[in-house]
Amino acid sequence: MKYKAMKFCFEPEKIDTLIQLAIQEDIGDGDITTESLIPDSLIAEGAFIAKESGVIAGLPVVEYFFSKLDKGVSLKQNVKDGTFVKKGENIASIKGSAKTLLSGERIALNFLQRLSGIATLTAQFVERIKPLKTAIMDTRKTVPGWRYLEKYAVAMGGGVNHRMGLYDQVLVKDNHLDILKAEIGLKPVSASSHSSIIEKTVSALRQKIKKGILIEIETRTLDEVKDALKAGVDIILFDNMNIAQLKEAVKMIKNWKSSKVRRRPLTEASGNITMENVHLVAQTGVDRISIGAITHSAKALDISLEISRQ
């Protein structure tokens, strides 16, 4: 079974710093045990075996990592990233210096197990909401330094990537609005003195950001949803709303008519999304659901590297 992976062009050079850090913290000046016991000339073979069923992600990372250790190591991928494998399957075969394989084993598995765990959890959420077309999205709740890879793993699990960072999309959150409300020096930027804080904020943003950058507003109440609609935002995020509120909010947006807006904003639900309630949330009609747990709480997939002398 193969989950449909979202388009994500893996660029190895983006993980150079992370790989060098992994090598430095684990191998450092050298693997004392392996250097003391294993002859330089010894060639070994290895097999990456799935110890439990799940979706694989990270094989290109493993291949790139070993190429940094030793250009003589060859890796044969028996499955592609994004593929669901069963317990006991041989995911990939590797051959090269026994010293290199032994020294790099743990780092390679750290990458492969964590990324496959994220892909697997993402795929489970995607599967849970079928046949609905709602997108399962990630968040910025990632391990420092791992964001690029963790979002890659989400894509391999059939999820959709949210913004990569604070620099590529506007997302006005509740803390932004609360601070602006309390800011005495905030001047009205709308011709109407009755404009809401959301309308004023969006108006100010339109004057400062580059054309084409999406504006998303986090809302907590139906009144805030209405204000976001009036402001003409691109995406409205429903934060921690219950099912009844979500249904009403989606209905409000679908029925909204404005001469200022060419198309209705996308809708997004977030907050306390679980495997148990995700289908109910998707049934409300939201376009997408963002889930921090798929990166920050994913369990590593059990995978082993079995090495033997050639």
Write the secondary structure of 33-84 as one string of H (helix), E (strand) and C (coil): HHHHHCCCCCEEEEEEEECCCEECCCHHHHHHHHHHHCCCCEEEECCCCCEE
**Helix residue ranges, H only, 70-167:** 98-128, 147-156
**CATH number of domain containing 34:** 3.90.1170.20
Task: Supply angle C-alpha 276, 121, 215, rounded to 5.
Answer: 85
Residues 6+ apart with CB under 8 A from 202: 172, 215, 217, 228, 231, 232, 233
Domain match, 154 and 284 both:
yes
pLDDT greater than 70 at residue 215: yes
Q: Tell me, yes or no, whether 5 lies in a domain.
A: no
| 3-state class (DSSP) for residue 9 | coil
Give pLDDT, residue 310.
73
Give a yes or no: residue 75 inside a domain.
yes
Instruction: Tell me, yes or no, whether 7 lies in a domain.
Output: no
How many CA atoms within 13 Å lie on the side-chain side of 217? 29
Pairwise CA distance, residues 53 & 86, whole Å: 4
User: Do residues 153 and 235 share a domain?
Assistant: yes
Q: Are residues 144 and 277 in the same domain?
A: yes
pLDDT in the model for residue 180? 85
Average pLDDT of the chain? Answer: 92
Same domain, residue pair 246 and 270: yes
Q: Please report the pLDDT score of residue 192 as a whole number.
A: 47
- Would you say residue 165 lies in a domain? yes
Closest CA to 295 of 126, 154, 144: 154
Q: What is the pLDDT of residue 3?
A: 37
Q: Are residues 117 and 224 in the same domain?
A: no
- Are 110 and 26 within one domain? yes
Q: Looking at the domain assignment, is residue 4 inside a domain?
A: no
The pLDDT tens digits for 123-180 are: 999 999 999 999 999 999 999 999 999 999 999 999 999 999 999 999 999 889 888 8
CA distances from 85 to 51, 97, 255 (A): 10, 28, 44
Dig out the tokens for 129 from the structure.
């909401």
Predicted local confidence at residue 2, as pLDDT: 41
pLDDT of 5-51, one tens digit each? 446 778 999 999 999 999 999 999 999 999 999 999 999 999 999 99
Crossing angle, helix 147-156 and helix 98-128, to 10 degrees? Answer: 60
The pLDDT of residue 7 is 61
Q: pLDDT tens-digit profile of 68-95?
A: 999 999 999 999 999 999 999 999 999 9
Report d(CA 148, CA 142) in Å as an integer. 9
239 and 107 housed in the same domain = no
Domain membership of residue 62 (yes or no) is yes
Residue-wise pLDDT tens digits, 246-304: 999 999 999 887 655 567 899 999 999 999 999 999 999 999 999 999 999 999 999 99
What share of the chain in percent tops pLDDT 70? 92
Residue range(s) defining the domain that contains residue 144: 135-296
Give the pLDDT mean for 89-103: 97
Q: What is the mean pLDDT of residues 61-74?
A: 96
> 218 by DSSP, 3-state: which?
strand
Q: For the chain, how many structural domains are there in total?
A: 2
In a domain, 160, yes or no: yes
Per DSSP bridges, beta strands 135-137 and 288-290 are: parallel
The per-type count for the chain, helices as H runs and strands as E runs, is 11, 12
Residue corresponding to tokens 């430095």: 24
Residue 63 lies in a domain: yes
Tokens of 13: 């050079």
Q: In Å, how far from its chain's centre is CA 25? A: 25
- Answer yes or no: do 81 and 167 share one domain: no
Are 303 and 291 found together in one domain? Answer: no
pTM, two decimal places: 0.91
Could you write out the DSSP letters of every residue in 238-271? EES--HHHHHHHHHHHHT---SS-SSPPEEEEES
- What pLDDT sits at residue 195? 75
Q: Looking at the structure, tell me whether residues 103 and 34 fall in a common domain.
A: yes
241 and 107 together in one domain? no
Per-residue model confidence (pLDDT) at position 5: 43
Q: 268 with 165, same domain?
A: yes
Tell me the CATH number at 171. 3.20.20.70
Tell me the average pLDDT across 222-232: 94
Rounded to whole angstroms, the Cα distance separating 93 from 95 reads 7
Burial 97-133, CB ≥16 within 10 A → b, else e: bbbbbbbbbebbbbbbbbbbbbbbbbbbbbebbeebe
Taking the CA atoms of the chain, what radius of gyration do you get in angstroms?
Answer: 24
What average pLDDT does this structure show over 174-201? 70
Amino acid at 282: A
Q: Which residue has the tokens 């070993």?
A: 66
> Annotated catalytic sites, by residue?
106, 141, 173, 218, 239
